[in-house]
Amino acid sequence: GQNIDQPTEMTATEGAIVQINCTYQTSGFNGLFWYQQHAGEAPTFLSYNVLDGLEEKGRFSSFLSRSKGYSYLLLKELQMKDSASYLCAVVDSNYQLIWGAGTKLIIKP
Amino acid sequence: ETGVTQTPRHLVMGMTNKKSLKCEQHLGHNAMYWYKQSAKKPLELMFVYSLEERVENNSVPSRFSPECPNSSHLFLHLHTLQPEDSALYLCASSQDLEGGSNQPQHFGDGTRLSIL
């Protein structure tokens, strides 16, 4: 079967750095997405990785290792507004999106 | 503002009622999706439409009936739902069919559905 694993919940401090991991076992791989979802709102696109390495976009960075079936989302200089759920999704060989259950990130002052 | 609008935002209905969820996208996209989101579970893809043609139905019970009259509008008709159908229903759109490239899906804020 296909599977995406993410921690259910994480807590971090304002101004700090947090890394949210995502591991996957899918039939094929055609890219990995990260989305942010605030409570009661739409998931919004953060990043897309298809090649190994780190993609940096402001305070957020996303890393991919295809050989390890592993990605992480790195959030720097955390702000209270970063409190949200972060969803990892993998595009499999049939170009279907396989979703993780999401990681709820709680930021404390 | 994501360019995808869903109405209503909240819906409470009895098991014998009939209601419809509406989704409209203003992005000029060709593909539209219905998802079910339950607490602490992955998004469940329900239906996919590409250029107004249904291309996927992920073993969804017949009490859920989608309709796509044009590429900008998507409906989900509901009848005789069960308590386990209570969830957040998300609509999304993408330029073309899902995952074909690095095209992200754009989501609406969802309809929070509660079945009494």
Decide if A52 touches B, using CB distance below 8 A.
no
Strand, helix or coil for residue B85 = helix
The answer for B 27-66 residues in CB contact with A (under 8 A) is: 40-43, 45
C-alpha B24, offset from chain centre: 10
Closest listed residue to residue A74, CA positions, set A39, A22, A26, A27: A22
Predicted pLDDT of residue B98: 57
Torsional sign, CA B74, B80, B82, B83? positive
Token pair in block for residue B82 = 């069960």
Partner-chain contact A91 B2, CB within 8 Å: no
Is residue A102 within 8 Å of residue A5, measured between CB atoms? no
Q: Could you read off the pLDDT tens digit of each residue along chain A, which spans 109 residues?
A: 789 999 999 999 999 999 999 999 999 999 999 999 999 899 999 999 999 999 999 999 999 999 999 999 999 999 999 999 999 999 988 888 899 999 999 999 9
Which position has the token pair 């073309």? B96
| Whole-number Å distance between alpha carbons of B52 and A98 | 23
Residue type, B109: D
Closest listed residue to residue A77, CA positions, set A10, A18, A15: A15
Q: Say which DSSP state B104 is in.
A: P
- Phi and psi for B63 in degrees, rounded to 5? -70, -10
Q: What is the pLDDT of residues B56-94, one digit of tens each?
A: 777 899 999 999 999 999 999 999 999 999 999 999 999
Partner-chain contact A31 B42, CB within 8 Å: no
